[in-house]
């Protein structure tokens, strides 16, 4: 690597190159005794700055050449390389004993500095120490390891990126040391909180609850504090002295709404900043704009697609207009009143599946669909709000990624089933329409995958890659819509949105559902599917909230599990009264919303390109803009008429493929057919025997197949009972199955690795 000859200027301790890169240099030695020391310091840090980075060049990339600094000469024979940093170190005989030089350089933009792992480098660190009189003592390597530990710490790295001078950098080091000193106390508090409903501490015990999320520990800790006072403890809830049934009764019923109140107290002081944060920063304004555009298309387009499906399955009683209206009205309500504004509530695959199941059941039993749909949603909302009052957020560590991965795979299969059903239907109309369906739908899938893959490539600039990757699926729909006009001689089926421009329903019915048209018996019968549906909402909402609020996403305003659940239940009741689909948190849109508003950088981790969140903006602007867009696009019916149905089914196919590609279950499933020597260096491959990995994957695949057959009502001869009604219960039973069965087959440590510690 050749470093260009550049001119340098001083600006408040920051050296800025004409090429646009800036280096912040902090010096560890202020007063050096002796001429040799002053010479080294002057040459390294006080003279022409390019010499410092020429030393880095010689030390890190040409270890066989002399690295000369004034009167001192030596060899840069060692370096430590990690994600985003390179640390070069050596010992110089000319340095006075007891004196060291450490130079830290931060690049304004990460670049490829020749790291062995090809990761982009953000920090360059040079360590100079005098030769030690004891041969086997290597002071330079010890100090280099210290700085490697510093930069490997996520919190310190974030502070180092934000530091603007030497004082702030040293303050970040002090905070790192304070965190290390408090580690033992935090670990003790963590184990106390993690004793929720368990008396076992063995790593092989199936009843231990472990979570790596501080927000979960806080949630459990709040309830344990209440319960300790209730059971008259001494500050430490000893479950050995409390009967299990008393513990659960007290947890759920003794302190109703305790966690909801804690969520409101935690988040309410930040509500104003959710609207006004960083409006004076141009970079933040750009983030808000692109995040809003991203959500406008990625959240609205699935609503249109699901509207096409529900319009066909319910014969127009719930169509595209109802889905867009739900996306707008319910979304605005969640954006205004939720505790976590980064959550994206939307119509999801399970909602569409359950609407289809309810319609078929209503047809078989001979009662009106919409009133039964309304009462089902009302009961579901009541159950969900009761879960919030009962402090069920303390059960989140029990959910695990095991069930979530099965559910995500199931949704992917359902999406692909919708496409295949449409393919079979069109196949009976002639070859012309079949070929048109294949060209438009598969073209939409391929273009979407191509644009999404740009995010991880080295093409274009990072900002443009991110934009294309985020809006790629929506952009593929517009591209293939344009392509569809090339088939003008052929009749291309397009989206039909009946009625004049306005906010009328698809069939012209009133917006308020006639709930009184249903008999009392059927009203209470709706309680059964309402309770079953509430299980799905609870699992998906809480798991999605957990993933969004993981520590690596750098959220700082606190969590709101119980309040989010309460708001979701209240909005479900409103949706049921209006006869529009229910909404709850959706993946991956919620996580992508976090990334769209965050400052992130690419790093290399275990042989894979990953992203690291540096700073996250917790605001409500982007989500509110997207929901308003969904509400306004209803007025653009002529534009909606231009969307080809086959392109929308191609988008459904993409959502199914995306459910697989972003699922760890799919990655492990591929390993069943992968050459062992080509296994990726993932954490579970290194830490779990492959026979156990394959067995764990096989169990998930079998349970996914069972869930699919239950959801599609495999017993076609049934007249009064549809097995699809109980698929939420089957999914929920996978949770105790994991604790009761898998912990007998696998050590707890291996399951934690396979689940990535949810």
Q: What is residue 177's predicted lDDT score, i.e. its pLDDT?
A: 81
Confidence label for 228 from pLDDT (cuts 50, 70 and 90): low
Q: What is residue 237's predicted lDDT score, i.e. its pLDDT?
A: 53
Query: What pLDDT, in 10s, does the model give residues 469-515?
Result: 878 888 999 999 999 998 877 888 998 888 788 888 888 899 999 99
- The pLDDT > 90 percentage for the chain reads 22
Q: What is residue 574's predicted lDDT score, i.e. its pLDDT?
A: 96
Coil, helix or strand for 653?
helix
Q: Which of 12-26, 164-178, 246-260, 472-486 has the lowest mean pLDDT?
A: 12-26
- Does residue 209 have a pLDDT over 70? no
Q: Which of 141-155, 254-268, 315-329 has the lowest mean pLDDT?
A: 141-155
Q: What is residue 256's predicted lDDT score, i.e. its pLDDT?
A: 82
Exposed e or buried b per residue across 542-572, where buried means at least 16 C-beta atoms within 10 angstroms of its C-beta: bbbbbbbbbeebbbebbbbbbbbbbbbbbbb
Coil, helix or strand for 503?
coil
Query: What pLDDT, in 10s, does the model give residues 46-76?
Result: 333 333 334 333 333 333 333 333 333 333 4
Q: Which of 35-39, 69-73, 105-109, 530-534 has the lowest mean pLDDT?
A: 69-73
Coil, helix or strand for 623?
helix
Alpha carbon distance 91, 257 (integer Å): 62
Q: What is residue 623's predicted lDDT score, i.e. its pLDDT?
A: 92
Query: What pLDDT, in 10s, does the model give residues 73-100?
Result: 333 446 777 778 888 888 877 777 777 7
- 14 DSSP β-pair partners: 11, 24
Could you tell me the CA-to-CA distances from 25 to 15, 53, 329, 483 in Å, in that order?
A: 8, 11, 52, 54
Q: What is residue 609's predicted lDDT score, i.e. its pLDDT?
A: 65
90, 74 Cβ separation under 8 angstroms: yes
Alpha carbon distance 462, 470 (integer Å): 12
pLDDT averaged over every residue in the chain: 77
Q: Which of 85-94, 534-543, 570-579 has the lowest mean pLDDT?
A: 85-94
- Does residue 292 have a pLDDT over 80? yes
| Most confidently modeled range among 141-150, 315-324, 424-433 | 315-324
Query: What pLDDT, in 10s, does the model give residues 90-141?
Result: 887 777 777 778 888 888 777 777 666 567 788 888 888 887 655 555 677 7
| CA 573 from centroid of its chain's CA atoms | 27
Q: What is residue 392's predicted lDDT score, i.e. its pLDDT?
A: 85
Average pLDDT of span 140-164: 82
What string of H, E and C letters represents the secondary structure of 287-325?
Answer: HHHHHHHHHHHHHHHHHHHHHHHHHHHCCCCCCHHHHHH
For the CA atoms of the chain, what is the radius of gyration?
29
- Does residue 708 have a pLDDT over 70? yes
364, 719 Cβ separation under 8 angstroms: yes
Q: What is residue 604's predicted lDDT score, i.e. its pLDDT?
A: 63
- Does residue 631 have a pLDDT over 50? yes
Q: What is residue 184's predicted lDDT score, i.e. its pLDDT?
A: 53
- Does residue 2 have a pLDDT over 60? no
Confidence label for 208 from pLDDT (cuts 50, 70 and 90): very low
Residue ranges per domain, the chain?
Answer: 8-181, 192-255, 273-754
Which CATH number is associated with domain 8-181? Answer: 3.40.930
Pick left, alpha or beta for residue 82 (phi over 0 → left; psi -120 to 50 → alpha; otherwise beta).
beta
Query: What pLDDT, in 10s, does the model give residues 392-421?
Result: 888 887 777 888 888 888 888 988 888 998
Average pLDDT of span 593-621: 78
List of residues 6+ apart from 251 with CB closer than 8 A = 197, 223, 227, 391, 394
Confidence label for 332 from pLDDT (cuts 50, 70 and 90): very high
Beta strand 85-92 with 121-130 is parallel
610, 316 Cβ separation under 8 angstroms: no
Higher pLDDT, 136 or 40: 136
């Amino acid at each position: 690597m050749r470093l260009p000859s550049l001119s340098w200027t001083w600006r408040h301790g920051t050296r800025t190159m004409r090429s646009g890169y800036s280096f912040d240099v902090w010096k560890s030695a202020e007063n050096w005794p002796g001429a040799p020391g002053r010479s080294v310091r002057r040459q390294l840090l006080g003279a022409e700055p390019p010499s410092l980075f020429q030393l880095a060049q010689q030390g890190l990339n040409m270890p066989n050449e002399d690295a000369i600094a004034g009167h001192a000469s030596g060899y840069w024979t060692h370096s430590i390389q990690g994600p985003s940093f390179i640390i070069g170190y050596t010992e110089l005989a000319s340095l006075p004993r007891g004196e060291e030089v450490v130079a830290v350089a931060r690049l304004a933009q990460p670049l490829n500095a020749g790291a062995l792992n090809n990761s982009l480098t953000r920090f360059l660190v040079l360590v100079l120490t005098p030769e030690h009189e004891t041969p086997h003592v290597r002071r330079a390597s010890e100090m280099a390891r210290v700085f490697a530990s510093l930069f490997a710490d996520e919190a310190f790295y974030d502070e180092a990126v934000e530091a603007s001078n030497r004082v702030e950098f040293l303050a970040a080091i002090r905070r790192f040391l304070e965190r290390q000193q408090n580690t033992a106390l935090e670990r003790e508090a963590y184990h106390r909180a993690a004793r929720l409903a368990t008396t076992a501490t063995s790593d092989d015990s199936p009843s231990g609850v472990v979570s790596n999320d501080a927000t979960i520990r806080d949630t459990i800790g709040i309830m344990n504090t209440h319960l300790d006072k209730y059971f008259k403890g001494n500050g430490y809830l000893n479950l050995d002295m409390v009967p299990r049934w008393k513990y659960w009764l007290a947890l759920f019923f003794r302190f109703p709404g305790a966690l909801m109140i804690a969520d409101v107290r935690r988040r309410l002081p930040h509500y104003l900043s959710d609207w006004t944060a960083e409006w004076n920063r141009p970079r933040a304004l750009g983030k808000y704009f692109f995040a809003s555009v991203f959500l406008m298309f990625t959240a609205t387009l699935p609503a249109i697609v699901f509207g096409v499906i529900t319009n066909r399955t319910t014969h127009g009683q719930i169509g595209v207009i109802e889905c867009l209206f739900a996306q707008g009205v319910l979304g605005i309500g969640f954006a205004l009143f939720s505790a976590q504004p980064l959550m994206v509530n939307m119509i999801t695959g399970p909602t569409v599946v359950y609407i289809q199941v309810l319609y078929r059941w209503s047809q078989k039993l001979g009662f009106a669909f919409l009133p039964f749909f309304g009462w089902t949603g009302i009961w579901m909302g009541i159950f969900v709000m009761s879960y919030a009052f009962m402090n069920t957020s303390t059960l989140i560590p029990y959910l695990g990624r095991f069930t979530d991965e099965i559910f995500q795979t199931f949704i992917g299969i359902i999406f692909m089933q919708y496409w295949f059903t449409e393919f079979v239907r069109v196949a009976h109309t002639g070859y012309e329409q079949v070929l048109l369906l294949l060209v438009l739908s598969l073209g939409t899938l391929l273009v979407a995958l191509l644009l999404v893959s740009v995010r991880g490539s080295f093409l274009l600039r990072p900002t443009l890659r991110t934009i294309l990757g985020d809006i790629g699926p929506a952009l593929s729909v517009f591209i293939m819509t344009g392509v569809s006009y090339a088939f003008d001689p052929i009749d291309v089926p397009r989206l039909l949105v009946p009625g004049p421009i306005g906010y009328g329903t698809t069939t012209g019915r009133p917006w308020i559902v006639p709930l009184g048209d249903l008999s009392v018996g059927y009203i209470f019968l709706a309680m059964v599917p309402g309770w079953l549906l509430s299980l799905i909402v609870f699992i998906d909402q809480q798991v999605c909230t957990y993933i969004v609020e993981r520590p690596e996403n750098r959220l700082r305003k606190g969590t709101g599990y119980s309040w989010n659940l309460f708001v979701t239940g209240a909005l479900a009741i409103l949706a049921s009264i209006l006869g529009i689909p229910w909404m709850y948190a959706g993946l991956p849109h919620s996580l992508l919303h976090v990334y769209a508003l965050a400052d992130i950088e690419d790093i290399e981790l275990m042989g894979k390109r990953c992203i690291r969140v540096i700073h996250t903006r917790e605001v409500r602007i982007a989500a509110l803009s997207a929901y308003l867009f969904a509400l306004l696009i209803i007025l653009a019916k002529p534009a909606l008429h231009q969307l080809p149905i086959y392109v929308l089914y191609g988008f459904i196919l993409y959502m199914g493929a995306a459910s697989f590609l972003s699922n760890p279950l799919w990655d492990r499933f591929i390993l069943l057919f992968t050459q062992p020597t080509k296994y990726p260096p993932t954490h579970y491959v290194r830490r779990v025997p492959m026979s156990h990995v394959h067995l764990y994957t096989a169990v998930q695949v079998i349970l996914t197949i069972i869930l699919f057959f239950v959801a599609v009502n495999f017993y076609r001869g049934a007249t009064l009972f549809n097995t699809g009604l109980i698929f939420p219960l089957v999914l929920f039973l996978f949770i105790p199955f994991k604790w009761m069965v898998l912990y007998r087959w696998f050590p707890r440590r291996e399951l934690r690795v396979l689940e990535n510690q949810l």
